[in-house]
Structure 1
């Protein structure tokens, strides 16, 4: 899932990418990348014991980003 936030009057052009991936040992990773559109972003991976836990974390972050204007 890719979220963007663009506000021309404030020169804001940002993206936020979220993905859930399986790990090698039965765990699940929640990968997120963020930064300015057109530039390399920062990447962070958080590991969870179950896919449901990773999906919950993804949903919570998605809602937080939506409140800040990402669509």
Structure 2
């Protein structure tokens, strides 16, 4: 549904936030982070409505940007699938 990819300009670190719906009518926010080319860490949270899920994803994006991550050029506006 919505996929944001952030990276650090000076290193190979990435941070990804993805919002999607599941088969049970809930929405999930998946966060992944780590070094490019390696298996990173991930965290999955469930929300009962889309508004809460997007709000949480936006909070995670802002926090990552405060820590030095920037939106990747390929996903500057987010991608929808």
TM (normalized to structure 2)? 0.76
Alpha-carbon distance in 1 for matches of 2:45, 2:17: 11
How many matched pairs? 67
Higher strand proportion (structure 1 or 2): 1
Q: Considering only aligned residues, what root-mean-square deviation do their CA atoms show, in Å? A: 1.1
Partner of 1:5: 8
Alpha-carbon distance in 2 for matches of 1:44, 1:65: 14
Alpha-carbon distance in 2 for matches of 1:35, 1:6: 14
Higher relative contact order (CA 8 A, sep 6+): 2
Segments of structure 2 that go 5 or more residues without pairing to the other structure are 71-81
